[in-house]
Amino acid sequence: MRIVYAGSPGIAVPALETLAALEQEGVHELVGILTNPDSPRARHGSAEPTEVSVAGTLLSEIRKARGMPPLAQFKPERLSAEVRAQLTALAPDLLVSFAYGRIFDPLFLQVFPRGGINIHPSLLPRYRGPSPIQAAILAGDKETGISIQTLAPEMDAGDLLVQERFSLHGQETTGELSALIAQKAAALLPDLLGRLAQGTFTARPQAHDQASFCSLIRKEDGRIDWSWSAPSIAARIRAFTPWPLSWTLHGEQYLYILEGKPFAATNRTAVPGTVLGIDKQGGILIQTGEGVLGLTQLQYRTKKALAWRDFINGARDFIGSCLG
Element holding 260 (H helix, E strand): strand 253-263
**Mean pLDDT (whole number) for 310-320:** 93
Q: How far is CA 241 from CA 62, 227, 259, in A?
A: 33, 21, 9
What are 132-153's pLDDT values in tens digits? 999 999 999 999 999 999 999 8
Instruction: Give the CATH fold of the 2-210 domain.
Output: Rossmann fold (3.40.50)
Is 42's pLDDT higher than 60? no
pLDDT band with cut points at 50, 70 and 90 for residue 72: very high
Q: What is the mean pLDDT of residues 48-55?
A: 97
Asked whether the predicted pLDDT for residue 183 surpasses 70, the reply is yes
Long-range own/partner contacts, residues 239-243 (CB < 8 A, 24 or more apart): 239/134, 239/137, 239/138, 239/173, 239/174, 240/134, 240/174, 241/173, 241/174, 241/175, 242/173, 242/174, 242/175, 243/174, 243/217
Q: Are 253 and 240 in contact (CB under 8 A)?
A: no
Q: What is the mean pLDDT of the chain?
A: 95
Any idea which fold 219-313 has?
A: Methionyl-tRNA Fmet Formyltransferase; Chain A, domain 2 (3.10.25)
CA distance 136 to 73: 33
* Range from 39-53, 91-105, 154-168 carrying the lowest mean pLDDT: 39-53
Instruction: Provide the residue ranges of all domains of the chain, joining segments of one domain with +.
Output: 2-210, 219-313
